[in-house]
Structure formats: structure tokens, C-alpha cells
């Protein structure tokens, strides 16, 4: 190898290193653009469980818009509506050093957003927004009612939602005690400023605001833009 390298003329070696620098420069530029787009505008996400059935299935792939630019601009509220599907990061409050942030960008780039240093399966969730800041949310026999802030009347979640969806409501035994946790009944809960109430579409799965409590605005990191896979189910959300 060394002998063959010595046979290269200085001009050939210089040309080789020039091409290498060009390739590395373009790779770095592509990395920066990809990181900016995925971090500030849109990102690819996969639903890895069955919590959003029947409307969304395990393995479905989505594009989510990011709220990073809104936060950088210092705007108060998030453009989130009742019935909207959002990406919740319950680990968003963790301290993230510069080195970890840079490493996370590299890992995301190399794995096409499938792996993250910060976002883990036990902290990242796809859920549906039911209540906005100031709303009063209650549940009785799996019927979710919402009283908007400043309103004298309460409505079912479907009357207020700006999109159509059908939750999966479990069949409960006649002998089920409503005092048991997650039986489908919840006393009225008033959401504070910057708090959102989110639920799974499969209401038998209680890994949502019924067990966590309301999520804060900084834990909602994006909203679903479209489902692009499977192609037969592609749709704007």
C-alpha cells in the first residue's frame, strides 16, 4: 500500500485530498441541513405500540411538525387543538449539556431519526389532546367531558374536537368497582396554565394523563402532520 501511494505524483495526491475535502464538506452541510430540518421543522416518527387503535396502528409512520421554532421565538401558547395528535416527551425537563446535544444530533442523523440520546421508549409517546389550559376535564364510565375555560357548559370530547376519531372503549364487567384506579371514571380536573390533558385512543391503555396527570406545554414537542405509511392509509392528520 505504501509503495503504491509513493507512486502517486504530488498532483494526484493533491487532487485526491481536494476531492476528499469536497465530499466531507458536502456531507457536513447535509448533516447540518438535516439536523436543522428535523430539529426545527419536521421529524419522522414510528408508532411502536397499539395505544392509538383503532384509528392508528402499530408500525404506522408519521411526519410531526416541531414546536422548537415557536419556543425559540418566545411565543406563549402552542398551536394545539382539541382532538389533535401530538408527540409527548415526558423527559423533556432533563438537563441536556452541549456535548449530549451534539451527540444526539449525530445519532439521529446516522439512524434517520430512529434513535435518540434523549428520547427513549419510556419517555416518548404519541397521544391525542383532549383538554387545553383552563379546561375542566372529567370522565364517567369512559365518557370524557370537557368544560372549556370561561364556559358554563360541558361537552363530550367529540363535540369540541376539531377532527374526527373513534376511541376504543373497553367492555367493563358489571361487577367492576368504579373506585378502582383507571376504571373509566375521573373526578373533574381543572387544567392550569400551560397544561394539557392527553389520552390514548385505546382507552383500556392508561399510560396517559389518567396516570401521569396533565402534561406541561414544554413536554409537547410536536404535532402530527401526516401519516405516510402504510401507503394505503396515507392521510393528513
The pLDDT value recorded for residue 25 is 87
The pLDDT value recorded for residue 133 is 94
Cα–Cα dist 44/41, whole Å: 11
HSE-CB for 222 with a 13 A CA cutoff: 22
The pLDDT value recorded for residue 38 is 66
Looking at per-residue confidence, does 142 or 129 come out higher? 129
Residues 23-79: tens digit of each pLDDT: 888 888 877 777 666 667 788 888 888 999 999 999 999 988 888 766 666 666 778
Looking at per-residue confidence, does 151 or 70 come out higher? 151
The pLDDT value recorded for residue 205 is 82
Band (pLDDT 50/70/90 cuts) for residue 122 is low
The pLDDT value recorded for residue 48 is 87
pLDDT of 98 > 60? The answer is no
Cα–Cα dist 10/176, whole Å: 84
SS3 at position 142: coil
SS3 at position 106: helix
Please give the biggest Cα pair distance in the chain.
88
Q: In which element (H, E) is residue 36 found?
A: helix 10-40
| Section 109-129 average pLDDT | 70
Query: What is the Cα gyration radius of the chain?
Result: 23
The pLDDT value recorded for residue 109 is 62
Residues 172-228: tens digit of each pLDDT: 666 665 555 556 888 999 999 899 999 999 998 888 999 899 999 889 988 999 999
Band (pLDDT 50/70/90 cuts) for residue 161 is very high
In sequence order, what are the residues at sequence separation of 6 or more whose Cβ sits closer than 8 angstroms to the Cβ of residue 94? 118
SS3 at position 162: coil
The pLDDT value recorded for residue 141 is 84
Could you tell me which residues are beta bridge partners of residue 182?
A: none
Percent of the residues in the chain that have a pLDDT greater than 70, as a whole number: 71
The 8-class DSSP code of residue 90 comes to T
Helices H / strands E in the chain, number of each: 6, 12
The pLDDT value recorded for residue 156 is 95
Band (pLDDT 50/70/90 cuts) for residue 102 is low
| Section 4-15 average pLDDT | 66
- The class level of CATH for 42-236 reads mainly beta
Cα–Cα dist 131/81, whole Å: 9
Spell out the domain ranges in the chain: 1-40, 42-236
pTM: 0.76
Where are the extended beta strands (E) located within 49-110?
Answer: 61-66, 85-89
Distance of CA 237 to CAs 44, 110, 208, Å?
Answer: 14, 28, 20
Cα–Cα dist 63/205, whole Å: 24
Burial class (CB in 10 A: 0-12, 13-18, 19+), 131: buried
Where are the extended beta strands (E) located within 107-219?
Answer: 124-131, 136-140, 143-147, 155-156, 186-190, 195-199, 215-216
The pLDDT value recorded for residue 39 is 65
Amino acid at each position: 500500500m505504501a509503495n503504491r501511494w509513493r507512486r502517486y505524483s504530488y498532483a494526484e495526491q493533491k487532487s485526491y485530498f481536494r476531492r476528499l475535502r469536497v465530499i466531507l464538506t458536502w456531507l457536513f452541510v447535509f448533516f447540518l441541513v438535516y439536523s436543522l430540518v428535523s430539529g426545527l421543522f419536521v421529524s419522522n416518527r414510528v408508532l411502536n405500540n397499539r395505544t392509538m387503535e383503532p384509528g392508528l396502528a402499530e408500525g404506522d409512520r408519521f411526519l410531526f411538525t416541531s414546536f422548537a421554532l415557536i419556543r425559540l421565538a418566545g411565543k406563549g401558547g402552542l398551536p394545539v387543538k382539541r382532538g389533535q395528535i401530538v408527540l409527548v416527551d415526558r423527559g423533556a425537563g432533563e438537563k441536556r449539556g452541549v456535548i449530549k446535544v451534539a451527540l444526539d444530533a449525530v445519532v439521529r442523523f446516522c439512524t434517520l431519526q430512529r434513535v435518540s440520546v434523549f428520547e427513549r421508549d419510556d419517555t416518548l409517546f404519541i397521544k391525542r389532546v383532549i383538554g387545553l389550559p383552563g379546561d375542566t376535564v372529567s370522565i364517567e364510565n369512559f365518557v370524557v367531558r370537557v368544560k372549556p375555560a370561561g364556559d358554563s357548559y360541558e361537552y363530550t370530547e367529540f363535540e369540541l374536537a376539531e377532527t374526527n376519531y373513534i376511541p376504543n372503549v373497553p367492555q367493563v364487567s358489571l361487577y367492576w368497582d368504579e373506585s378502582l384506579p383507571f376504571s373509566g371514571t375521573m373526578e373533574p380536573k381543572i387544567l392550569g396554565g400551560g397544561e394539557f390533558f392527553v389520552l390514548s385512543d385505546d382507552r383500556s391503555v392508561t399510560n396517559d394523563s389518567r396516570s401521569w396527570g396533565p402534561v406541561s406545554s414544554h413536554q409537547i414537542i410536536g404535532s402530527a402532520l401526516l401519516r405516510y405509511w402504510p401507503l394505503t392509509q396515507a392521510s393528513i392528520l
